[in-house]
């Protein structure tokens, strides 16, 4: 009987993370759904149980004890850890002159420190057997937008961290890659559109940015993540895969 692979996914309660968790469960992975919203993680784990074994883990990726506990829980529940998806992230808007030091620090804590901590403790569990880490970055790593100083910084930094981990841990059979999504149709996007002075005009503009004529979906990112985690990508490491419907090459 083939051993079931195990994936630990952060920010799994909603949006892109929920889409990734669902896709991995459909592919037969046991899924550890980790989120700062513990109740949301529990709902997701319950939804996944009809497809594959799953467990909910509540915690903050920027807290070292929580990150270590998440890796320990995945292994204690399922016996191993094969894939880590660093999806959890926040966006704090503002220019350098507008942002408070506290807001800047929180952005760095979640989007960079969190990936460092989760990876540190996941690698300890993968060592000796190999594994794959997929970091969810953003097109903000390549293209800057107004009032996104901290977010742009973290997403660009995440690509540097991806390359460093791929270099350092490739000898251990651990592959590390990043995905850079563009606009994705999630509840967070809906809330952003609702806050615009003219929702329909803003949506029209967003859609016009994409040569493919639509925003991405969580499934689009989930399929790309599953590919990078799979044996089909066995010789891909240190790479950054842009999944944005050609938005960034169109100059947006």
* Tokens encoding 51: 């497809």
Assign 3-state DSSP to the chain and report helix, strand, coil percentages, each to 5: 50, 15, 35
Structure tokens at 94: 């503002």
Tell me if residue 151 is catalytic: yes
| Pairing, β 6-10 against β 240-243 | unpaired
Alpha helices (runs of H) in 127-173, residue ranges in sequence order: 149-169
Per the DSSP assignment, residues forming a β-bridge with 95 are: none
Q: What is the DSSP letter of 111?
A: I
Contact 15, 36 (CB under 8 A): no
Residue 30's beta-bridge partner residues? 6
Residue 148 has which token pair?
């996104």
Give me the phi and psi of 6, to 5 degrees please.
-125, 130
State the DSSP H helix or E strand holding residue 224, giving kind and residue range, or none if neither.
Answer: helix 218-229
Q: Nearest Cα to 16, choosing from 143, 175, 135, 172?
A: 135
CB–CB of 83/94 below 8 Å?
no
Q: Which of 121, 151, 183, 209 is catalytic?
A: 151
Q: Is 43 helix (H, G, I), strand (E, B) or coil?
A: helix
Catalytic residue annotation: 151
């Amino acid at each position: 009987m083939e051993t079931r692979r195990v994936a630990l996914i952060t920010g799994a309660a909603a949006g892109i993370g929920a889409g990734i968790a669902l896709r991995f469960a459909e592919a037969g992975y046991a899924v550890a759904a980790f989120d700062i919203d513990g109740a949301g993680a529990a709902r997701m784990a319950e939804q996944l149980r009809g497809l594959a074994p799953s467990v909910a883990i509540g915690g903050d990726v920027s807290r070292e004890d929580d990150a270590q506990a998440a890796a320990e829980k995945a292994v204690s529940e399922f016996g191993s850890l094969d894939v880590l998806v660093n999806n959890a992230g926040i966006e704090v808007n503002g220019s350098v002159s507008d942002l408070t030091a506290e807001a800047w620090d929180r952005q760095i804590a979640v989007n960079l420190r969190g990936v460092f901590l989760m990876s540190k403790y996941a690698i300890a569990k993968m060592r000796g057997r190999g594994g794959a880490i997929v970091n969810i970055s953003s097109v903000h790593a390549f293209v800057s937008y107004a009032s996104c100083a901290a977010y742009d910084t973290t997403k660009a930094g995440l690509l540097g961290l991806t390359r460093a981990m791929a270099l350092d841990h490739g000898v251990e059979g651990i592959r590390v890659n990043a995905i850079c999504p563009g606009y994705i149709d999630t509840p967070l996007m809906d809330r952003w559109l609702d806050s615009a002075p003219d929702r329909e005009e803003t949506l029209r503009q967003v859609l016009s940015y994409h040569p493919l004529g639509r925003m991405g979906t969580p499934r689009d990112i989930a399929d790309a993540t599953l590919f990078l985690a799979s044996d089909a990508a066995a010789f891909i490491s240190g790479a950054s895969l842009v999944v944005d419907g050609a938005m960034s090459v169109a100059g947006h």
